[in-house]
């Protein structure tokens, strides 16, 4: 416990403890959200995101894990909330980058030289492959 009676692991003032908070929250988010698309679809506004039942479960889990009373949780939640939003932004960038890569791969496949493409000529009498 620190001087504010908050468990040291949640004391957001210290760098080591803050990174531990982020890892704990990150692993909780990974367990609650099946894939990045679920995380991305969250409305990032505070009044909306805090009403999501999955976020409530994470918040309750943090409170239970560190045995925080309501005021202690309210003191540390803004920092953990920011970590959650950062994870959401990073997931959004990652998905956008993957989709852009897929689009580029598909467009490069469409621009194959004629020697690598296959066409079928169909006539009324016969079919031949060139």
pLDDT digits (tens, 9 = 90+) for 44-96: 887 888 899 999 999 998 888 888 899 999 998 998 899 999 999 999 999 99
pTM above 0.75, yes or no: no
Which residue, among 12, 116, 19, 7, has the nearest Cα to 65 in the 3D structure? Answer: 7
Q: What is the pLDDT of residues 94-127, one digit of tens each?
A: 999 988 888 877 766 565 555 555 555 666 655 5
Beta bridge partners of 129: 120
Q: How many residues does the chain have?
A: 130
Given a contact cutoff of 8 angstroms between Cβ atoms, the answer to whether 92 and 101 are in contact is no
């Amino acid at each position: 416990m620190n001087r504010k009676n908050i468990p040291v692991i949640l004391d957001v003032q210290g760098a080591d403890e803050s990174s531990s908070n982020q890892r704990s929250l990150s692993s909780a988010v990974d367990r609650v959200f099946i894939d990045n698309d679920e995380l991305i679809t969250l409305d990032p506004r505070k009044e909306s995101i805090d009403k999501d039942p999955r976020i409530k479960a994470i918040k309750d889990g943090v409170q239970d894990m560190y045995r925080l009373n309501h005021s202690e949780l309210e003191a540390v939640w803004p920092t953990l909330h920011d970590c959650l939003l950062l994870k959401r932004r990073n997931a959004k960038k990652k998905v956008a980058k993957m989709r852009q890569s897929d689009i580029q791969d598909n467009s490069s496949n469409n621009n194959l030289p004629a020697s690598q493409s296959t066409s079928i000529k169909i006539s009324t009498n016969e079919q031949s492959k060139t």
